[in-house]
């Protein structure tokens, strides 16, 4: 199987390159191809002729998206459409990475794949609109929604917490947003399995279990062997440009339907801390 990973130099892209074995895999970063450039995308797909394209390239600065709306939509929506059109022309399957931010966070039970999209942020809207456009263009594409991604080799929440905890006696972290931390290495393994299973439709893929950012931070500090006090605060006390869903736990049922399960987020965090060193 020939696989092309767009966004191959990002947090998830690196994990995918590491996890994928036994297939002909190429990982391309923005220096190799800018997904906003329709003709450039077409030429790359024409040249490589992959069986699968995994689209992990995105503008993921959630707060940055609020002040750079044009950039957010040109990358996350229009760039995805460019990739889908090339995939369709050259008969490649497409797996697109989406987000829990397509939901409004008003539920109190895990989100299923057919729950209504109602994004509250520019980033969420750009991903939700991309989903709709891709499903129109390629009804057999696979859309993988994930959340709270962390991993080695890039900026992420645990990395930030560990750096802050090393220099501060007290950290204030929001305790009224609940979701599913997801280790890039575990998500990468799930994506490999989905492609090999010729998956289609919308799939929710996260580590199992859920927590608040405060609970996540407390476990990070404890696992890192640091004595920093972590205090719970509410979102209003830690105002950010982009609204966050208060509850964005994703149900594992759609992933389990493909015979795939993931470890608990606490187990994933332990492995991340070991890998980070």
* Count of CB atoms situated within 10 Å of the CB of 94: 24
- pLDDT score of 154: 86
- pLDDT score of 162: 97
Q: Percentage of residues in the chain with pLDDT exceeding 70? A: 100
pLDDT of 265 higher than 90:
yes
Q: Percentage of residues in the chain with pLDDT exceeding 90? A: 98
Band the pLDDT of 266: cuts 50, 70, 90: very high
Task: Give residue-wise pLDDT tens across range 192-206.
Answer: 999 999 999 999 999
Band the pLDDT of 255: cuts 50, 70, 90: very high
- pLDDT score of 239: 85
Task: Give residue-wise pLDDT tens across range 49-83.
Answer: 999 999 999 999 999 999 999 999 999 999 999 99
Band the pLDDT of 164: cuts 50, 70, 90: very high
Mean pLDDT of 209-226: 98
Which one of the listed residues 59, 123, 214, 272 is annotated catalytic?
A: 123
In sequence order, what DSSP letters do the residues of 95-112 get, joined into one string? EEEEEGGGS-S--SSPBP
Chain-wide mean pLDDT for the chain? 97
- pLDDT score of 141: 98
Among this protein's residues, is 111 annotated catalytic? no
E strand spans, the chain: 2-6, 24-28, 52-55, 93-99, 142-146, 149-150, 170-174, 178-179, 182-183, 201-204, 211-212, 229-233
CATH superfamily of 2-154+181-209+248-264: NAD(P)-binding Rossmann-like Domain (3.40.50.720)
pTM of the model: 0.98
- pLDDT score of 277: 83
């Amino acid at each position: 199987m020939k696989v092309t990973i767009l966004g191959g130099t990002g947090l998830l892209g690196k994990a995918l390159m590491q996890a994928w074995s036994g297939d002909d895999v190429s990982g391309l970063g923005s220096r190799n191809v800018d997904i906003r450039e329709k003709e450039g995308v077409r030429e790359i797909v024409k040249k490589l002729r992959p069986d699968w394209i995994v689209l992990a390239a995105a503008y993921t600065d959630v707060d940055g998206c609020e002040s750079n709306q044009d950039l957010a939509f040109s990358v996350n929506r229009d760039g995805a459409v460019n990739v889908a059109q090339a995939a369709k022309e050259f008969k490649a399957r497409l797996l697109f990475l989406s987000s829990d931010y397509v939901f409004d966070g008003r539920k109190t039970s895990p989100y299923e794949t057919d729950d209504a999209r109602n994004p509250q942020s520019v980033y969420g809207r750009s991903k939700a609109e991309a989903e709709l456009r891709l499903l129109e263009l390629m009804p057999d594409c696979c859309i993988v929604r994930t959340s709270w991604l962390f991993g080695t080799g890039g900026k992420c929440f645990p990395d930030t917490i560990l750096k802050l905890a090393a220099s501060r006696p007290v950290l204030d972290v929001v305790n009224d947003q609940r979701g599913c931390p997801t280790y890039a290495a575990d998500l990468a393994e799930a994506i490999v399995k989905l492609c090999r299973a010729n998956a289609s439709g919308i799939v929710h893929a996260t580590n199992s279990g859920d927590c608040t950012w405060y609970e996540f931070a407390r476990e990070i500090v404890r696992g890192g062997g640091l004595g920093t006090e972590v205090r719970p605060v509410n979102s209003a006390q830690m105002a950010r440009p982009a609204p966050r869903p208060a509850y964005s736990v994703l149900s594992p049922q759609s992933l389990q339907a493909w015979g795939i399960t993931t470890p608990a987020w606490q187990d994933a965090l332990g492995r991340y801390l070991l890998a980070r060193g």
